């Protein structure tokens, strides 16, 4: 789920009220509240709605969930941001302009310039840099990136990457990076629009896999974020074909084969992905297997919305019809924007889906 952006002049009192509201919604057993808690409170990441509702959920828990919903590690960190902001807190600045460490910042400038020779010498002069991390808060991801992660151009810092970015990345990798940074770089490349648009996504994937990056960790999020060329490249490098990945690729025979032994988590994500990509047969198969069309999508899979939201927003009319015919509610509002599936269809200009949902009596929350 994307994090919420703090307003220009955030109020700590207003955020306290949000925490109290989450506490009340938990007591009222709101499905949307359970989803937010599951996404943003580490103690309930794997919990069901029922387990969350019976748990003792205190104001301090609600404050932690609210802080993380805004991209901060803890409530005290969020409080500090509001009461004593510093230049690096400005999330609207490009990430390279938020780096306070001058050595790290200069290294990123060399990456962005594609200066292979200069970067190689700079890393010799600063041998700790290749393994160094920098901290950001207030955003959805990229909270503690290692130096090598800046080669991915994700989040977008410039509209392009140097043409020799593979050589640039190799210079850093040859100096040695920690496994977590290597794995995260692969995930960033596999889901990045800039590497893809620059024709560098697959070459960078090939390079990072050569150095031992975790292909299984990257393929799931690539499938969620519509990067199917990256998914195929990761499969070529030995990534495991899960049921969710098979669903994203429309491989119904593989989904059917895996279904009997699939975990509840795998089924849920496969259902969400089949709906967003418009694979009617797979959606039908998973509905027959017991998937609930009214559940919010799983954490890490557009979890602020339901399968019907995703199908409607993507213009997947046949899936929308199937879900509605199988009893999917049309009045559920997504957690982030407060839109119904009809609102999503209208916003995205999916007129055929909009017309169908109106015919079925759906309402528009926007």
Structure-token pair, residue 227: 């990067």
Give the span between the Cα atoms of 293 and 307, in whole angstroms.
Answer: 7
Structure-token pair, residue 54: 């019976």
CA–CA–CA angle 84, 6, 226 (5° rounding): 135
Give the span between the Cα atoms of 115 and 107, in whole angstroms.
Answer: 10
Burial of 38 (0-12, 13-18, 19+ CB in 10 A): buried
pLDDT at 365 over 70: no
Residue 363: the pLDDT is 82
Q: Give how far Cα 104 sits from Cα of 107, 130, 135, 144, 150, Å.
A: 5, 9, 11, 13, 11
User: Higher pLDDT residue, 71 or 90?
Assistant: 71
Could you tell me if 168 and 111 are in contact, meaning their C-beta atoms sit under 8 angstroms apart? yes
Residue 140: the pLDDT is 82
Walk me through the domains of the chain, giving residue ranges and CATH numbers: 12-85 (no CATH), 95-240 (1.25.40.20), 249-359 (1.25.40.20)
Residue 326: the pLDDT is 97
Could you tell me if 22 and 64 are in contact, meaning their C-beta atoms sit under 8 angstroms apart? no
DSSP state of 295: S
Give the span between the Cα atoms of 315 and 327, in whole angstroms.
Answer: 19
Could you tell me if 357 and 350 are in contact, meaning their C-beta atoms sit under 8 angstroms apart? no
pLDDT tens digits, one per residue of 102-155: 999 999 999 999 999 999 999 999 999 999 999 998 888 898 999 999 999 999
Count of all residues that appear for the chain in the document:
366
pLDDT at 57 over 80: yes
pLDDT at 366 over 80: no
- The Cβ-side half-sphere exposure at 322, using a 13 Å CA radius, reads 22
98-130 per-residue burial string, b: 16 or more CB within 10 A, e: under 16: bbeeeebeebbbbbbeebbeebbebbeebeebb
Residue 2: the pLDDT is 73
Residue 1: the pLDDT is 67
Average pLDDT over residues 342-349: 96
pLDDT tens digits, one per residue of 202-242: 999 999 999 999 999 999 999 999 999 999 999 999 999 99
Give the span between the Cα atoms of 325 and 322, in whole angstroms.
Answer: 5
pLDDT tens digits, one per residue of 5-22: 898 889 999 999 999 999
Mean pLDDT of all residues in the chain?
Answer: 95
């Amino acid at each position: 789920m994307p994090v919420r952006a703090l307003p220009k002049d955030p109020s700590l009192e207003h955020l306290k009220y949000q925490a109290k509201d989450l506490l009340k919604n938990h007591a009222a057993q709101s499905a949307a509240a359970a989803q937010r808690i599951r996404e943003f409170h580490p103690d309930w990441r794997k919990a069901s709605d029922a387990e969350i509702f019976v748990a003792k959920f205190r104001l301090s828990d609600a404050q932690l969930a609210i802080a993380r919903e805004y991209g901060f590690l803890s409530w005290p960190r969020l409080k500090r941001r509001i009461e004593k902001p510093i230049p690096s807190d400005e999330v609207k600045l490009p990430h390279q302009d938020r780096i306070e460490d001058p050595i790290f910042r200069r290294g990123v400038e060399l990456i962005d310039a594609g200066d292979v020779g200069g970067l190689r010498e700079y890393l010799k002069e600063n041998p700790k840099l290749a393994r160094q991390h920098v901290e950001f808060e207030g955003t959805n991801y990229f909270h503690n990136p290692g130096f090598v992660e800046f080669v991915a151009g994700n989040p977008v810092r410039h509209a392009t990457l140097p043409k020799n970015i593979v050589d640039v990345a190799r210079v850093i990798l040859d100096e040695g990076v920690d496994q977590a940074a290597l794995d995260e770089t692969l995930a960033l490349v596999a889901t990045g629009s800039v590497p893809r648009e620059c024709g560098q996504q697959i070459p960078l994937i090939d390079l990072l896999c050569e150095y031992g990056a975790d292909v299984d960790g990257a393929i799931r999020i690539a499938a969620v974020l519509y990067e199917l060329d990256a998914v195929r490249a990761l499969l070529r490098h030995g990534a495991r074909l899960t049921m969710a990945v098979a669903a994203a690729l429309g491989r119904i025979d593989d989904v059917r084969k895996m279904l009997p032994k699939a975990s509840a988590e795998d089924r849920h994500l496969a259902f969400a992905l089949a709906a967003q990509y418009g694979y009617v047969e797979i959606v039908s198969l998973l509905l027959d297997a017991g998937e609930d069309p009214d559940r919010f999508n799983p954490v890490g899979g557009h979890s602020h919305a339901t399968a019907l939201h995703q199908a409607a927003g993507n213009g997947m009319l046949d899936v929308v019809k199937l879900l509605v015919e199988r009893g999917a509610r049309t009045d559920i509002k997504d957690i982030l924007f407060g839109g119904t599936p009809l609102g999503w269809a209208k916003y995205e200009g999916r007129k055929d889906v909009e017309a169908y949902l109106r015919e079925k009596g759906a309402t528009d929350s926007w």
